[in-house]
Amino acid sequence: MPKDTKSKIARAATAILAKEGYRALTMRRVASACDISPGNLTYHFPSVDDLMVAAMNLGLEQYQQQITSYLQKPPTDQDKTLTDLVTFFIRDAISQQTSAVMIEFWALAQRDSTKAAFLDQAYKKASDMISDVVIDIEPGIGRATANQVASTLLVFSEGSTALYSRKPLLAFDEKALIETAVRTLRQMISDAASKGS
């Protein structure tokens, strides 16, 4: 099956997850959404679990493309790059599609060690991508500090998913949250750079 067809299947699975949740994610529904036979789908994605992994991998590929765009920018405005990175992660975290998929995956990972291990790998990959941008912004800091900055950004974004992705009951000011996250990460980077770590 061509890669674009696999991507089409992953996008269909993601859309169903985002709109209707894990219970609605069936092989028949995804096959119908892709206009292929269920047998053709199961040949390439034998189970719903495989479709879940494909949906998560699609999200990671999109993150990778965005991160690559930051790494390709000339390092003339490092503060803008940091702001863009934070804005991307927080806005994505509260988007209907990403938040719905993540909430479903978090719930499944609580009861399934295979999904939990996959989720751990996905967070590690996202953290490594963020760390690469942080080191590009401030080459003088070490990988350990870049990883701490990455983890902090993930806390901001994942916390945003949990608190603000669905009709929030708590006060939410996206701009203020992004500014707070940027200030926090900038301070972490600045402190590490001044200590030479």
For residue 65, what is the domain's CATH number?
A: 1.10.357.10
Q: What sign results for the dihedral spanned by CA atoms 27, 33, 34, 39?
A: positive
Which residue has 């295979």 as its token pair?
A: 114
Tens-level pLDDT at each residue, the chain (197 residues): 456 878 899 999 989 988 888 888 899 999 999 999 988 898 889 998 888 888 888 888 888 888 888 777 766 677 888 999 999 999 988 888 888 888 888 888 898 898 898 889 889 988 999 999 999 888 889 999 999 999 999 999 998 888 887 666 667 788 999 999 999 999 999 998 888 65
Domain range enclosing 160: 57-195
Dist. CA 169–CA 163, nearest whole Å: 8
Task: Indicate the pTM of the whole model.
Answer: 0.81
SS3 label, residue 167: coil
Shortest CA distance to 146 belongs to which of 195, 188, 87?
Answer: 188
- Which of left, alpha, beta for 151 (phi over 0: left; psi -120 to 50: alpha)? alpha
Q: How many domains does the chain have?
A: 1
Q: Is residue 38 part of a domain?
A: no
Q: Is residue 49 part of a domain?
A: no
Q: Is residue 126 part of a domain?
A: yes
